[in-house]
Structure formats: structure tokens, C-alpha cells
Amino acid sequence: MAALPYNPLDKLHLAESIAREFFKGSLHPLPPSEGFSGAGIYAIYYGGDYPLYADVAESLRLYEASIGKLAAAEISKQPVPLYIGKSDPPGSRKGLFAGMSEMESLARDDAEASEATETLLTETPGHRKLFERLKKHSRSILSTKNLKLGDFKCRYMLVDEIWVPLGEAKLVAAYKPIWNVLIEGFGSNVEGGGRTETARPVWDIIHPGRKDGLRFQLDPKVETAIIQDLQAAKDRLTLTLAIERHREAKKAFAAARKKSRTS
């Protein structure tokens, strides 16, 4: 089979380019000490002593110990992120002329089209969505009873809004951070108590404090054992098994509740 010609605009190549630039950035406290404007992508790192994240913490310690010796592009030697996320700008555009039909867009006066393009390419963001998202994550960590905000670092990169999802997807696929792919709920909005239909996310079970007002939505006969298994897990395999038991118990609880309402 003949080799395909290199396409610099292929999604994979674009994603790799974003990742290379991302890892050239420095690590910062969480949240960064100074605010900034714009949207983009970010990674959260951990260097504390919570047993479940021992490998993540060790990778950060090794990276910081040798940070002066590493070339910026050596992505394989980067610390393992605990979480990777993105922040889209408010009202993200779907295109230069979103909401218009193809014929309407084609019919626009050339001068108007040029003005719209110039605005998109040169405008300075007035929002601080990425910085605010990092601050939100900081509050979530501060609210827990078993994590310390001082053990966390972050890396972020401002990205043109059309490339934000691509950059995040590449980084998540490369690292599969535990707070992205296994422990769900870290990035969710904080909800008040009293919502009987909303179950407490796994992240908030393992790290109680933020959403203690939400119920577990489990049969009381198995609730204690399942919660203890989740909170006692010290490696990914044990945690994966505990999460699977939790998932099945939630399904059984929901099915029983539905049956009781229809009977």
C-alpha cells in the first residue's frame, strides 16, 4: 500500500502540535497566582501522599527534581496528570457566520466578510474562563477532608477557541488521567443538598466534603461496605472493582425505586 502524503492540517498532526506546545509551559500553583484572560486547556498534577495517587505524585517529584535537565519537548518524561480539562469561551462560535444558511453566507458583501474575519483573528478575549475554571477546581479541592491544595500544581495554555476540544482530546487520550477516565465527578458543578434524585459522584465519595448534601442512592444494606471499598482503594485495580460494584448497586437501587413507584 502506498504511503499517504503528509497533511499538516490532519487532525492528528494538529493535535500533536498542540500537545508539543502545551508541554513547553511551566508548572504553576493551583490556582495560578495571577489572573489572566482567555480560554484553553490545562492539566492538574498531584504531589501529595494520598495512597491511590502514589504513581502520579512520584512522577511529579521526579519531574521537578530534574526539571532543569529535561528538554521541553520530551513529553514522555512529563509528570502524569491527575486531570486534564478545557475551558471554552462564553458563547463559543460555531463559525464565522453561525446561524446563516450557506447561500446567505456566500451572498455577504466581501467587505463585511473581511471585517468579520479580522475581528475573529485580532480580538483580545475579555473573559477569564480558563482562570476561573482553575479557581473552581481549587475550591473543590479545598472543600475536601483528605486532600491539600498545596499538593497540587497546574499547567495551562491559552488556545484559540476552535482548537480547544482537539487539544484536550489529544492529552486525555495520551495520559488517560484517573480523574477523567475512572473517578467521575471532579469537574461537575457543585449542587446543594436536598436533591433526592441526584447521586453523589464517585469523586465526592472518595474525597468527601464538597457534595455531602447529596445522597449515595444505594440500598442501605450494601451502602456502608461499598463506600468503605471506594475510600480504602490504594491502586487502580482495587478501585476499578469497587467502582464496578458501586455502579451495579446504583442500578439496582434505581430499578427498585422505579418499581416501587409504579406498583
pLDDT of residue 186: 96
Quick check: 126 pLDDT over 90?
Answer: no
Query: Whole-prediction pTM value?
Result: 0.80
Residues 163 and 142: their CA atoms lie apart, in Å, by: 31
Closest CA to 91 of 39, 48, 53, 41: 39
pLDDT of residue 191: 54
Quick check: 178 pLDDT over 80?
Answer: yes
Band the pLDDT of 15: cuts 50, 70, 90.
confident
In this predicted structure, which of 40-54, 87-101, 230-244 has the lowest mean pLDDT? 87-101
Band the pLDDT of 92: cuts 50, 70, 90.
low
Residue 153 phi, psi (nearest 5): -130, 165
Residue 155 phi, psi (nearest 5): -135, 140
